[in-house]
Structure 1
Amino acid sequence: MNSTASRSPVSRTSRPRRLALTALAAAATLVLAGCVQGDGLGDGAPPEGDGDGGGGTIRIAYLATGSSLPLFLMAEKYADEVGIDVEMLEVSSGNDSITGVATGQYEAGFAGIGSASYNAFAEGLPVRYVAPMHMGYVEDYFILSSQVAGSFEEAATVAEDLSDYAGETFAVNGPGVVTEAVLAFALERGGLSIDDVNVEHIPFPDQVPALANGGIVGGVLSEPFPTQAENNGAGYRPWETPDTPPIPFTGILFNTDWADDNPELATDFMRAYAMAAEELDTGGWDTPEMLELIEEYTGADPEIVAQTRQHHIHADLSIDLEQVLELQNFYMERGSLNYDEIIPEEDIWDFTWRDAALGS
């Protein structure tokens, strides 16, 4: 899940180096407003064949969050192994990633499974999810303010019945994003609907002091922020991580015009990505090597990251599309989608290159 805290875009090749990028604000406005139609991408259309990024370097949009670790590992360890050149380009939000991939600014990227990606697909833009990025649990992301629950035990008791907090303020990092759905699932577990509460859009880092001072009753935070909140007494998660399948939260995006024009390169990307997924699934997200990568790309304190509840990814890059459909249904009910009928998830997720890479 993605923090909306403001950051300047950066470029990373094998090891970090920082470059300025052209702002995507105008393109983002077009895509997210649903004004770009079909192939009408103008100068932002993806390059053909052997142009920059077309047949050579793969430009990848990422967010500086620990959930991007599969991409970090792919770029730093496995891209060379399969013989591809990648350029890692930091963006400030998942919407920037979606827009940049759809308009050919990047060949690949990742974003939360949210309304912006569904709307981009519905507009006919050449962008598809091609593999899961990370998965997680409602239990790991939902947290209550220490002003309403001063310990884990108190939080667990309060969360059994949240009806006293109807009309109160809860927070997520943005509208139409997967964290909004996670909040709805958590509130439902406590007997509330998301429509029963006031939802504020607050970046993950800023939710921590809001929890501490009681400005919000609860929120949905991606790691390492819930762990930070618990460490400093700002808030407490009411539930332990369950022993059930995790929920898909984010996915890898391809510009499908590029991928169709460069099938071998797209498949090699997925081969490298699958290698990273297998290492994380079998070895964990908190080994010294992984903590070093997260610190390098995000600046996060490795000691804090080592304490966090881990993200998840399947070694075979499988994903339960029935779980994903629950997210689309939620956005439809919230009025976040620019269309009226549910789109089959099989149309939005294209596993062509994953299956080619894995020999499926």
Structure 2
Amino acid sequence: MKKLHLIGLAAASVLALSACSAGADTTAPAGSDALTPVTVGVIPIADTAPLYLGLDQGFFEDEGLDLTIETATGGAAIVPAVVSGDYQFGFSNLVSLMVANDKGLPLKVVNSAVASTGDVTSDFGAVIVKGDSPVETLADLDGKTVSGNSLNNIVDTVMRASIDRLGGDSSSISFVEVPFPDASAAVENGQVDAAFVVEPFVTAAIESGQRVISYGYADFDVNLDVAAYFSSAATVDGDPELVTKFQAAMKKSLEYAQANPDAVRAIIATYTKTPPEVLAKIVLPKFPTEFNVDAVTALGEAALKYGVVETAPDVSTFLP
């Protein structure tokens, strides 16, 4: 059974996001028991394409799961829904999950999700400015206003680290929260001096005449894992069979996405209103099935350095 819902997205956007609902199929796979309902909360961006592909390809049905995808603007909305049990699984950047871990929230990372391309000249996450902006590098952002989709997460953490490494002063920057779909417009109208966005909004910004001054994830670490799928401790401990089935379906989905970039671009068109000419040009991330422990460790240390967490996570227990 394929279901897709949409919640809480920013309305004002040149690239407004929408959800598509596949036709219901109440027939379980041959020889299987009734499908187990499972809800996953995600951000509808290029990063989450494997989940949509897994639904489309039947990988979740193969594992006996009846998947519903719920969408939101960021991990701040998804985490509470997972903790409360409204969602069985969620998608969030790793720093937000580190913050949750640091605060004692009962969350467990269960799957890798998305990682940097490893190319500092072409990645799926970037810092954009107006075409005529005097800002040329991250070090030029001192005293400026910069947006991310949420605060005290991976966006401002990796930016602070790179800015300071380049000789800038990240403590002088005002970070503000602007949803990814609205960020390019915020740059263009002068609401912010720069914005960190991810695909398909990077390419859309470039197409509109804006410039990239940093491919932020790759600039921090070319092997950076950016996000993960997670669940509550209650689900992990209380229903390990469900978690194992979800992990198996996600592994198939990630492998399929990595091997089929054209399918990734096509599926993105079903849950975002991205023009075909933009989809053809977007930079796709890597979709790994394993975490890069060294990069996640460095990310945790940066989160500690910039006061995002009080204690860096022990990756031996933080990661599955």
> TM-score normalized by structure 2?
0.79
Aligned partner of 1:106 in structure 2 is 87
Does the 8 Å CA contact 1:58/1:87 hold for their aligned counterparts? Answer: yes
Q: 1:235 and 1:92 mapped to 2: Cα distance?
A: 24
1:234 aligns with 2:204: no
- Whether the 8 Å contact between 2:50 and 2:256 is mirrored in structure 1 is no
Q: How does 1:310-329 map to 2 (within 5 A)?
A: 310-314=284-288, 317-329=289-301
Aligned residue number for residue 218 of structure 1: 194
Provide the residue aligned with 2:98 in structure 1.
Answer: 118
Tell me, yes or no, if structure 1 residue 145 matches structure 2 residue 130: yes
Q: 1:336: which partner in 2?
A: 308
Is contact 1:128–1:348 with CA below 8 Å preserved after alignment?
yes
Match of 2:225 among 235, 239, 248: 248
CA separation of 1:15 and 1:335: change in aligned 2, threshold 3 A: farther
User: 1:307 maps to which residue?
Assistant: 281
Matches within 5 A, 1:1-360: 5-6=9-10, 15=23, 56-77=36-57, 78-115=59-96, 117-136=97-116, 140=123, 141-148=126-133, 158-159=136-137, 163-237=139-213, 245-284=222-261, 287=262, 289-314=263-288, 317-337=289-309, 340-349=310-319, 351=320
CA-CA distance at 1:68 after TM superposition: 0.8
Q: Which runs of 5+ in 2 are unaligned?
A: 1-7, 12-16, 25-34
What code does the residue aligned with 2:100 have? Answer: A
Unaligned runs of 5+ in 1: 17-54, 150-154, 352-360
Secondary structure of 2:36's counterpart equals: coil
Q: What SS does the aligned partner of 2:280 have?
A: helix
Q: What is the CA deviation profile of residues 142-175 of structure 1, one whole-angstrom value per residue up to 9, with x for unaligned ones?
A: 22331226xxxxx7xx32xx55542122222221
Instruction: Give how far 1:14 is off.
Output: 5.1
- Aligned position for 1:28: none
Partners in 2 of 1:246 and 1:260 — Cα distance?
A: 30
* TM-score in terms of structure 1 length: 0.71
Higher RCO by CA contacts (8 Å cutoff, separation 6 or greater) = 2
3-state SS, counterpart of residue 101 of structure 2: helix
**Aligned-pair distance for 1:231?**
0.8
Over residues 265-312 of structure 1, what are the superposed CA-to-partner deviations in whole Å (9 max), with x where a residue is unaligned? 32121111111111122222xx1x333321222333333122111111
Superimposed CA distance per residue, residues 167-193 of structure 1 (whole angstroms, 9 cap, x where no aligned partner) = 122222221111112322442354213
Q: Percent identity?
A: 20
Q: Name the aligned partner's letter for residue 327 of structure 1.
A: L
Q: Distance in 1 between matches of 2:274 and 2:185?
A: 18
How many residue pairs get aligned? The number is 292
Q: How far 1:13 moved relative to its partner?
A: 7.4
Aligned equivalents of 1:188, 1:85: Cα separation in 2? 46
What is the RMSD computed on CA atoms of the aligned residues? 3.2
2:19 and 2:215 map into 1 onto residues whose CA distance is 38
Kept in 1, the 8 Å contact 2:296–2:315? The answer is yes
Q: Deviations 1:227-269 (Å, cap 9, x if unpaired)?
A: 1111111333456997984311110002232233332232121
